[in-house]
Structure 1
Amino acid sequence: MRRRLLYILSFLFLVICGCSKKGSAIKQTLYSGEIRIAVDESLKPIMEEELQVYHAVTPEATIVPVYCSEVEAINLFLKDSVRLVIANRRLTDQEISSFHTRKFFPESIRFAIGGIALITNRHNPDSLISKLQFRDILAGKIVNWSDLYPSSDLGRIQVVFDNPNSGTIRYAVDSICQGQTMATTLTAQKTNEEVIDYVSKTVEAMGIIGVNWVGNVGDSTRLSFNESVRVMRISDSSNPTVQNSFRPYQAYLALKKYPLTHDVFILINDPQGALPTGLMTFLTGDKGQRIILKSGLVPATQPVRLVNVKEDF
């Protein structure tokens, strides 16, 4: 009887301890707990830097990022699998209505200015293009390098994106093609890293990636680009010249002189005002915005000082 009583007491003790641990694991505040967030893969470099600092200054919080395509990230958000998303667009009216029917009121908060970059192989000497020419390439109206540059001895332009469901492709469809059907010859890898690798090995390739992937990680000033590829200059003019074309330097992103500039958003649905709100506050606050400034993008919620950029033409 005594042994049986000991067994029962031991069992109750384990149950109580288990419940206690379970309760502590799910306890969440502005500065503690554990959550998953979804991040458009094109924004991975900047979020890796943000989370490294965030975890250092908020040791009781654990953020588990899911790097995926924009479509996948938004789907996780709509299914309430994550409460915070980093993406290259706002929520649509239809998506907001979907939340409102469930009595949720999400927000789209602009927190950085980024864009997409066009990259070519280092052995391709031609790196000047107009936004209109880029549109014609996407639509299949320009197919060969010689159509852009008559003196080029390269063959077909091999256009490669990062992912079929990425925000980069959505931006190209919505903002560049503007209703025109994209060519069926365009191809996609899985990540921005794979695009850079492919372009660095393929002379006829033109890669389309997020601008925060083209920075030279060895340059703390962020005034140079990845040396394994060539970053193209782009012009809003139908007659592109060196003088009216721009690369995605921070100053040109901030002034919207670079033609392929777009905003970056935090999408948040946090009715309890817990850890997702704490992370959002960090990202839009002074520390988070300083990291954006150092990354090559442009802060959206803090003032910035612009300096003249002198390019080597």
Structure 2
Amino acid sequence: MAKLNSLVKSKVCPKCGFDMHQNEGAFECEICSTPLISKEFLVKKVSDIKGDLPGKKDNDAAPKKIFHSFIWIKLQRLLLEYNGNKIYLPLIGLVVLLTSATVFTTSIIANNSSRIDKSKEIDISGLANYGGDSTFAPLVAEGLNKYVESKYPNLKLRYTKPVNNDFSSANGIEMLLNGELSFAYSARPLSDEEYRNAQIRGFKLKQIAIAVDGISVFSNFWTPTSKLNFEQVEQIFSGKIDNWNQIDPRFESMPIVPIAVNNENYGNLNLKESSTTIKLPTHTDVIQRVINTRGGISLASSSLVQNQRSLKVYSLANDNTSNYINLFSNKKLNIAAIKEGSYPLTRRLFVVYREDGSNDQITGETIANLLTSSEGQEIINNSNYVPIY
């Protein structure tokens, strides 16, 4: 007893040299080097820290096993290296190690779950209204809607006719902004103003390019030529050229009658329409007017005029050159000329939808995904558009 009191008064354990009053929260004996924390205690602390991540299923077992093995190896090293007052640094390292490994494991599991969720087939249903530019009518005629509904039997696509008879991209996007459509087809990119209008309403607009369209310049067979360059087309629709003999003095005098669809976008053509341009609501109306008007000329998607035997489609040359390129070759769309850019008049086509967390957004995303898939691009190709994927 006297010996023990002597040791206590000396404050230093003769076996391990630990000063008992320097650290009252010691994890080992204050008199000797005997550990005060057992292996079982440390294992319990490890278990408390790592725990079982809630809400996870069996597919999380693999990363957990890796985690457990990794921690136990480190714990065994800690116990082997344990001696006296050197325990504190390993304990701090263990806490840091456990925290880091837990975050790492959680990240692995979250990423795995994310990949699993994205790979699941989305089940969409209900009635989806669509509209926009009438340029896309050939897609429906080629069976796009039937293809979509075969993939999603509980989904019904319904075309929504604009009450103002404006079948342009601009009006379709306006209807989309107002919640009248689930998604819209557009023959031009979204404008800055349309993006701003969406933000004002508390959501965003998303556009997905699905195809390239070759724009045809066409007339009836009364006109004296079948070739024009890019500059001449711009001057015809701006009113600078208003008679066919201005194209070539050898032609007889015949007034040029430009005809166009209301608010239509014609791709990279800087179209400043003159006051003499006749405006009509649909491409069908325009085609019929051109067929029946001496000197009439207009523009439309290649998909709308390819099979029109009463129309003459012009070969076009870039700028003011005479390197004329046919839009059709052997009655088929000249895809190579459009892809390489030698045919000068093209535009990209888009699916547009709202990013507002609604079922309409899911429908719009699904339509865009289908149209950019290999099957969707085949439908686009069969509709006389140029696939881009």
TM-score in terms of structure 1 length: 0.75
Query: What displacement does 1:208 show?
Result: 1.6
Partner Cα separation in structure 1 for residue 123 and residue 184 of structure 2 = 17
Answer with 1 or 2: which has the greater Rg: 2
Aligned to 1:297: 385
- Detail structure 1 runs of 4+ shifted over 4 Å in the superposition: none
Query: What displacement does 1:125 show?
Result: 4.2
Q: Of 345, 349, 368, which aligns to 1:260?
A: 345
Unaligned runs of 5+ in 2: 1-121, 162-166, 329-333
Query: What displacement does 1:38 show?
Result: 1.6
Please say if 1:153 is aligned against 2:252: yes
Whether the aligned pair in 2 keeps the contact of 1:112 and 1:299 (CA below 8 Å) is yes
Aligned to 1:211: 302
Please say if 1:191 is aligned against 2:290: no
Whether the aligned pair in 2 keeps the contact of 1:292 and 1:298 (CA below 8 Å) is yes
Partner Cα separation in structure 2 for residue 109 and residue 66 of structure 1 = 21
Query: What displacement does 1:262 show?
Result: 0.8
- Among all aligned residue pairs of Structure 1 and Structure 2, give the percentage whose two residues are the same amino acid: 22
Aligned to 1:17: none
Partner Cα separation in structure 1 for residue 280 and residue 193 of structure 2 = 30
Equivalent position amino acid for 1:196 in 2 = I
Describe the SS at the equivalent of 2:160.
Answer: strand
Q: How does 1:79-90 map to 2 (within 5 A)?
A: 79-90=178-189
Query: What displacement does 1:213 show?
Result: 0.3
Describe the SS at the equivalent of 2:281.
Answer: coil
Query: What displacement does 1:154 show?
Result: 4.7
Q: Of 196, 220, 236, which aligns to 2:318?
A: 236
Unaligned runs of 5+ in 1: 1-28, 217-225, 303-313
Query: What displacement does 1:251 show?
Result: 2.1
Describe the SS at the equivalent of 1:167.
Answer: coil
Query: What displacement does 1:58 show?
Result: 2.8
Partner Cα separation in structure 2 for residue 186 and residue 85 of structure 1 = 27
Structure 1 pair 199–154 and aligned structure 2 pair: CA distance change class (3 A): farther
Structure 1 pair 177–275 and aligned structure 2 pair: CA distance change class (3 A): closer
Cα shift readout 1:116-159 (whole Å, capped 9, x = no counterpart): 21111124341100101111112211100111122222510111
Please say if 1:201 is aligned against 2:283: no
Aligned to 2:153: 59
Whether the aligned pair in 2 keeps the contact of 1:37 and 1:66 (CA below 8 Å) is yes
Partner Cα separation in structure 2 for residue 187 and residue 210 of structure 1 = 18
Cα shift readout 1:146-181 (whole Å, capped 9, x = no counterpart): 11122222510111112x22234xx4xxx4337xx5
Aligned residues: 254
Whether the aligned pair in 2 keeps the contact of 1:139 and 1:177 (CA below 8 Å) is no
The alignment yields a C-alpha RMSD, in angstroms, of 2.1
Describe the SS at the equivalent of 1:37.
Answer: strand
TM-score in terms of structure 2 length: 0.61
Bigger relative contact order, structure 1 or 2 (CA pairs below 8 A, ≥6 apart): 1
Query: What displacement does 1:237 show?
Result: 4.1
Cα shift readout 1:13-69 (whole Å, capped 9, x = no counterpart): xxxxxxxxxxxxxxxx74321110122012211233221322334322111123522
Whether the aligned pair in 2 keeps the contact of 1:112 and 1:297 (CA below 8 Å) is yes
Q: Of 260, 263, 286, which aligns to 1:165?
A: 263
Partner Cα separation in structure 2 for residue 99 and residue 239 of structure 1 = 42
Structure 1 pair 134–92 and aligned structure 2 pair: CA distance change class (3 A): same
Whether the aligned pair in 2 keeps the contact of 1:46 and 1:212 (CA below 8 Å) is no
